[in-house]
């Protein structure tokens, strides 16, 4: 979930790779000096790992590295928890800054693939997962959808709510993460994952959360883009969504080279829309 446009900080994006793969709760208060030190040591270790050995979940490797240095098991887990928590805190801060910047570095317009898929559908309940500042949620709400969106970046949610109020629209916004948001059961006519990762950890939640006849819409970076540009977080492998969403009927699938909503030049993307069959 790291747009190329804001990837000046390689290490930070690597941290996000670790943190997005772990699922401990975020804490609001700033870290102590000792916790900061633990986090710094993790960053230093990460910088020493050859790029080809880095992956979406660095926790097992870091566990091994600490164990090899003789760190007791309980201390290893304590450190991993601190690294995870601090990474989450920094990620929220980074997205808050990104979405409240004076000069936006992303496409402020609603996602074109969402428009293509959703504009002819009858409005119902929509979930905008990792909604950011709400460009897509607002477009859906304007068409009459009842929209709920969640994101851990509280200031981005505030931007969305202010825009909704200015437009006389209603949005339900929830300060939550994929790991904590309850998708419910048979609840949504549309679930959107726009630059919000690929299928990792969400397949069951999406398939259960959709109403029969409901659809999921995904636009994400393809792994080819990640080979060319520094993109952290969850990206899509070739053919991944149609393969992963076994309970859905593929309505649309493509892997075009196109201009991403987050990024300054064309790259390979993944666009997927799948429908939950009616019984």
Ligand X SMILES: C[S@@+](CC[C@H](N)C(=O)[O-])C[C@H]1O[C@@H](n2cnc3c(N)ncnc32)[C@H](O)[C@@H]1O
CB nearer to ligand X: give 66 or 263: 263
CB nearer to ligand X: give 5 or 49: 5
State in angstroms the smallest separation of the CB of 25 from ligand X: 11
Count CB-CB contacts under 10 A for residue 158.
Answer: 17
State in angstroms the smallest separation of the CB of 202 from ligand X: 10
Using an 8 Å Cβ cutoff, are 91 and 19 in contact?
yes
State CA 57 to chain mean position distance. 15
Please report, as ranges, the residues that interact with ligand X according to CB under 6 A.
1, 3, 20, 91, 95, 111, 130-132, 135-136, 151-153, 156, 177-178, 194-196, 261-262
CB nearer to ligand X: give 20 or 125: 20
Q: Which two tokens stand for residue 20?
A: 């997005």
CB nearer to ligand X: give 125 or 133: 133
State in angstroms the smallest separation of the CB of 201 from ligand X: 9
State CA 275 to chain mean position distance. 21
State in angstroms the smallest separation of the CB of 195 from ligand X: 4
**Helix 10-21 and helix 73-100, axial crossing angle in degrees, nearest 10:** 120
CB nearer to ligand X: give 1 or 66: 1
Q: What are phi and psi of 272, to 5 degrees?
A: -135, 135
- Looking up tokens 């979405």, which residue turns up? 99
Distance CA 229, CA 219 (A): 17
State in angstroms the smallest separation of the CB of 219 from ligand X: 8
Closest residue to bound ligand X by CB: 132
The gap between the terminal CA atoms of the chain, to the nearest Å, is 34
CB nearer to ligand X: give 42 or 95: 95
DSSP annotation of 4: G
State in angstroms the smallest separation of the CB of 33 from ligand X: 26
Distance CA 240, CA 260 (A): 19
């Amino acid at each position: 979930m790291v747009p190329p446009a804001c990837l000046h900080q390689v290490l930070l994006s690597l941290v996000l790779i670790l943190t997005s793969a772990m699922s401990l709760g975020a804490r609001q208060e700033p870290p102590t000096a000792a916790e900061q030190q633990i986090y710094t040591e993790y960053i230093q270790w990460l910088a020493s790992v050859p790029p080809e050995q880095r992956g979406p979940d660095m926790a097992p490797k870091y566990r091994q590295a600490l164990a090899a240095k003789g760190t007791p098991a309980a201390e290893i887990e304590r450190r991993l928890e601190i690294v995870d928590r601090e990474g989450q805190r920094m990620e929220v801060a980074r997205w808050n800054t990104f979405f409240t910047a004076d000069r936006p570095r992303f496409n402020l317009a609603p996602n074109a693939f969402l428009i293509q898929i959703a504009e002819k559908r009858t409005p119902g309940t929509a979930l905008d997962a990792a909604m950011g500042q709400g460009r897509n949620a607002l477009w859906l709400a304007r068409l009459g959808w009842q929209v709920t969106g969640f994101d851990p970046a509280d200031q981005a949610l505030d931007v969305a709510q202010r825009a909704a109020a200015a437009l006389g629209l209603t949005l339900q916004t929830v300060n939550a993460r994929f790991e904590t948001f309850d998708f419910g059961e048979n609840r949504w006519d549309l679930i959107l994952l726009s630059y919000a990762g690929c299928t990792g950890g969400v397949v069951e939640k999406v398939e259960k959360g959709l109403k029969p006849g409901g659809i999921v819409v995904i636009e994400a970076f393809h792994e080819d883009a990640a080979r060319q540009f520094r993109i952290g977080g969850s990206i899509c492998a070739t053919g991944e969504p149609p393969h992963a969403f076994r309970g859905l009927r593929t309505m649309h699938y493509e892997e075009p080279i196109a201009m991403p909503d987050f990024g300054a030049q064309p790259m390979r993307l993944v666009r997927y829309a799948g429908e939950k069959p009616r019984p």
